[in-house]
């Protein structure tokens, strides 16, 4: 643990709210576990002038290949969501290779459990939570919203989840992406990656199946509606998005799959919230529809 961790917790307590732009306030580095690792922290953004006390919540999971990344990588999302009357939460979690994938996933579930239990103190509605994430965060978001064991362990029922928005993930069906990537390397005579998806997720076919969101989709579980955003021109994320979308639709879960054109993996995420961005329009239509249900 970072020796400075107690200091920045003290800093958070005494300087709890800071104004970000003109639209939202943020309280940073709130610990969600006890005892808290230095990455067991989240940020909460709230509307600057809202008088409402029960706003819907966006829970954001950053990407970075499960090895890097930070909760501060949110671009303009906090501003545009708080302007639309949401509380926005961005979480950190421990990373590979310091912990294995199951521990990492349970960190995110624990963070969401903390939000469910405590977000009312920040003006959020614990019964209206949207789970979203980019890249590795997309895999984590989709898994938490389909495999109910993680959230059940934290006291979070599926019926508080109003929607799930995975953004350009390529690991909703791990056996498929592992096979695809390794076949591509093999037929071109190239070496297999030393720390690719096979190893990251435990180098065990049973684990690969269990960490795949498609494995856990079933009718009648209370799985929330999905909006799956992906880069139209990327073969891996496009195929994985369609695969997850097909499984969800077959289980009669409201699902939209959208392939964004003339964009990239990072640009799709960075542009969310921009005026005239097609993926943003779909995103806002999605949350506005399901926030009222």
Cα-flanking dihedrals φ and ψ of residue 196, to 5°? -85, -170
Q: pLDDT tens, 108-137?
A: 999 999 999 999 999 999 999 999 999 999
What pLDDT is stored for residue 18 in this prediction?
41
End-to-end alpha-carbon separation of the chain, Å? 42
Per-domain residue ranges for the chain?
A: 5-173+219-290, 174-211
User: What's the token pair of residue 177?
Assistant: 């992406």
The closest alpha carbon to 86, from 97, 74, 100, belongs to 74
Cα–Cα distance, 18 to 32 (Å, whole number): 20
Pure H helices in the chain: 5-14, 77-83, 101-118, 136-144, 148-152, 174-187, 197-200, 205-210, 213-216, 235-250, 265-270, 278-290
For the chain, list residues with pLDDT below 70: 1-23, 293
Contact indicator for 87, 55 with CB cutoff of 8 Å: yes
Cα–Cα distance, 25 to 15 (Å, whole number): 12
Residues paired with 91 in a beta bridge = 42, 61
The yes/no answer on whether domain 5-173+219-290 falls in CATH 3.40.50.1820 is yes
What pLDDT is stored for residue 23 in this prediction?
64
Q: pLDDT tens, 8-25?
A: 343 343 333 343 444 689
What pLDDT is stored for residue 121 in this prediction?
96
What pLDDT is stored for residue 13 in this prediction?
35
């Amino acid at each position: 643990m970072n020796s400075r961790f107690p200091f920045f917790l003290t800093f958070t307590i005494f300087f709890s709210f800071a104004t970000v732009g003109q639209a939202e306030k943020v309280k940073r580095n709130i610990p969600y576990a006890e005892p808290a690792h230095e990455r067991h922290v989240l940020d909460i953004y709230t509307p600057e002038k809202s008088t409402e006390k029960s706003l819907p919540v966006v829970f954001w999971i950053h990407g970075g290949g499960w090895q890097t990344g930070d909760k501060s990588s949110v671009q303009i999302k906090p501003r545009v969501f708080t302007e639309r009357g949401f509380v926005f939460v961005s979480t950190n979690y421990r990373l590979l290779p310091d912990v294995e994938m199951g521990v990492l996933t349970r960190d995110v579930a624990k963070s969401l459990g903390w939000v469910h239990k405590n977000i009312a103190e920040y003006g959020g509605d614990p019964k209206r939570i949207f789970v979203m994430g980019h890249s590795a965060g997309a895999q984590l978001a989709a898994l938490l919203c389909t495999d109910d064991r993680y959230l059940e362990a934290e006291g979070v029922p599926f019926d508080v989840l109003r929607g799930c928005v995975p953004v350009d993930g390529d690991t909703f069906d791990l056996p498929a992406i592992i096979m695809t990537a390794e076949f591509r390397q093999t037929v071109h005579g190239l070496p297999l990656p030393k720390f690719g998806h096979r190893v990251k997720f435990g180098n065990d076919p049973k684990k690969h199946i269990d960490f795949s969101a498609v494995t856990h989709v079933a009718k009648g579980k209370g799985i929330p509606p999905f909006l799956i955003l992906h880069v139209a021109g990327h073969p891996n994320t496009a195929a994985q998005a369609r695969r997850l979308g097909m499984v969800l639709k077959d289980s009669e879960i409201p699902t939209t799959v959208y392939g964004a054109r003339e964009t990239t993996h990072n640009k799709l995420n960075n542009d969310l919230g921009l005026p005239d961005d097609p993926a943003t329009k779909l995103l806002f239509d999605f949350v506005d529809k399901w926030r009222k249900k």
